[in-house]
Amino acid sequence: MNYFQKVLGAASQEVKVINKSWYMLSFLSWIPLVCFGLIVAIFISGVPRDLPIGVVDKDYSRFSRMQLSAIESSATLQIKEYYDSVHEASVALREGSIYAIVIIPDHFEKNIRRGEQPTLSVMLNTQFILMSKVLKSAFSAVLLNSAATIDFVQTLADDQRPELAKSAVAPIALQITPFFNTYNNYFLFLVSAMLPAFWSILVMLTMVIAIGEMFKNGREEKWLASAGGSLSAAMLGKMLPYTIIQLLWGMGIVYFVYGVMPWPFAGSWWILAGAVLLTVVVYQVLAYAFYAIEYKYDAALSFTAVFTAPAFAAMGITFPLLNMEGVAVAWHDLLPISHYIHIQISQANYGAPLSSVGTAFGMLALFLSVTPLVYWRYKACSKRWIK
């Protein structure tokens, strides 16, 4: 029996184990499907709309109604409730029934007509970081447009020439050209990173469970025998079925985001497939390593949870890597998925050549340097498996 046959023997044995375990079949089939589907369903709209806000109108004037009408016309904002006092509105804000409060002060219209600058206040619940950012952008757009409209009408009344009135209101024309996420869609921004992050957790968790269940049920001797007594072949063979399945899941995710959804993919699918495969293998090797620390199933699961749980937060997607310091940067570098996502973004958005993502591939491959140590650790304990 050659080495390749030994690997296939161990892989065949693992397939039989998977087929007999509803637990493993669940982790490889419907559990990721349900989790991925839930993430997609939450963010499928892409852009937050009709976010509930409250209003405290102390002026009740024609100008205040015009301002509130402009707010209502925004697709992002929806006036849910009018309140008699700021205190009452603040209670609703703290309870989470609204995300923001618009406060129109007394003498709002009178001060505008006098040429003064009344202060229209907006209070945001910044505990919801992403939501408050969206609200701030929406309010800025609406209020600036309203201010420009008022200035235009007043200037037009004085001058009677529309082109001069328009120039006075906006003396500098601004053109902003967005790249890569043209519609500012949060589906592309969040889901394209969130799905790989969750996938990476499942890759490692599934491998830890496969190893842990084997030791828990005393199948070590049978596992080693299926590979003709070769420990390295047994380890590779055990990985192989999961490698294939997780590779399909990983490629399915990127194909869904950049193939099924209407987002462009500028790079090479082959480069990305290589990155997906390398990421799977890296997490599987780390699963072997984490189990070998104490040879305890529960400890390995705990180590895996601590290591993989911050995957999405530490990627550098929602919080810029350049603003991270110390431990955060170290954690980012220690997570294989952080280097994978760099390759994915480079391929999808920029069509970067292989030379440009060589560093990220190198960082991923660097994790495999623990392989000899992992093999030595299992080799040292393998004599106890043979009865």
Nearest CA to 347 out of 255, 278, 246 is that of 255
> Under CATH, which architecture does the 51-169 domain have?
3-Layer(aba) Sandwich (3.40)
What's the pLDDT at 165? Answer: 46
What's the pLDDT at 147? Answer: 62
Question: What CA–CA distances, in Å, run from 41 to 33, 156, 191, 332?
Answer: 12, 48, 10, 28
Q: What is the C-alpha separation between 290 and 359, in angstroms, rounded? A: 25
- Tens place of pLDDT per residue across the chain (387 aa): 689 999 999 999 999 999 999 989 999 999 999 999 999 988 887 777 888 999 999 888 888 888 888 888 888 889 999 998 989 999 999 888 899 999 988 888 788 777 777 788 888 887 777 788 888 888 887 877 766 565 545 554 555 555 544 454 445 555 556 666 665 677 787 889 999 999 999 999 999 999 999 999 888 889 999 998 899 999 999 999 999 999 999 999 999 999 888 788 989 999 999 999 999 999 999 999 999 998 889 999 999 999 998 888 888 777 766 667 777 788 888 999 999 999 999 999 888 999 999 999 999 999 999 999 999 989 888 776 655
What's the pLDDT at 170? Answer: 47
What's the pLDDT at 74? Answer: 84
What's the pLDDT at 358? Answer: 93
- Residue extents of the structural domains in the chain: 3-43+185-384, 51-169
Q: What is the C-alpha separation between 26 and 331, in angstroms, rounded? A: 30
CA 313 to chain centre: 8
Strand arrangement, sheet containing 121-124: 77-82, 51-57, 100-104, 121-124
